[in-house]
Amino acid sequence: MSHNEKIDVGQNQRNGRLNGQVAIVTGAGRGIGAAIAIRLAQLGAHTILCGRRRASLEETSSEIKAAGASIIECDVSDLASVQSIAATIERSFGRLDILVNNAGIMGSQGPLHELPPDVWDNIFNTNLRGVYYMIRSLAPLMIRARSGHIINISSLAGKNPVANAAAYSASKWGLNGLSYSVAEELRTHNIRVSVICPGSVHTDFSPHVGKNAEKMLQAGDVAHAVEMIVTQAPQSFMSEILLRPTQKP
């Protein structure tokens, strides 16, 4: 498909398919990010897998198989790295329809007064500053097209107090506030900004000791929420989704 060819995005969304669209998922090498990337590719989007470690991105890419995918190594906390991604996407595709800001870290846990400043900085640089960098660099492509989805993966920790995880919780509260405000800024450009706040999600790299994994949310549950957002009718958008398990694990 040529970069200048018009795509009936609304029709694709009504059919539940994303054929011809371009998506990027940060933190796509594992866990929630990998599940989201695979789901978007299955829906027909050419999915750009973004992360710091190429080996894990290649694992996700191998699961996508026949569906379209590209790999771009990037550290979202580095503005130059993010700007390089934006330039590559514009040069290679000329468009971006879906941006999923999933990359995030929890960092070490414990009382805030014992938290080393460098751990605080790492958490905020990835969980909040990185989202700012991605939106700053990639929203102009969507504004030009007057279309697009930006989906920020937050946490219920951004809604509720969490002892011994104050920095992580604060970063997610900040991400929620950023999402609500940017949604108001970009809706005039027909760009929909949504935030998903899941509870604890069981993944292979992030087990939760003492909890029943079978009762916990799974990475696929978050991917399903993303699918609902990007396939809804064009006259509406889900500004926020809170995800909880049916039973407490």
In this structure, the dihedral spanned by the alpha carbons of residues 149, 64, 67 and 226, taken in order and rounded to 10 degrees, is: -20
24 backbone dihedrals φ, ψ, rounded to 5°: -130, 140
Residue 168 a catalytic site member: yes
CB-based contact 148:191 (threshold 8 Å): yes
Q: How far apart are CA 94 and CA 149, in angstroms?
A: 16
CB 74, CB 81: distance < 8 Å: yes
Rounded to 5 degrees, φ, ψ at 72 are: -135, 120
| CA distances for 147 relative to 34, 97, 132, angstroms | 24, 7, 19
Q: Quote the CA–CA distance of 33 and 17 in Å, as a whole number.
A: 19
Structure tokens at 113: 């007064």
Q: Exactly one of 132, 133, 168, 180 is catalytic; which is it?
A: 168
State the catalytic residues.
Answer: 168
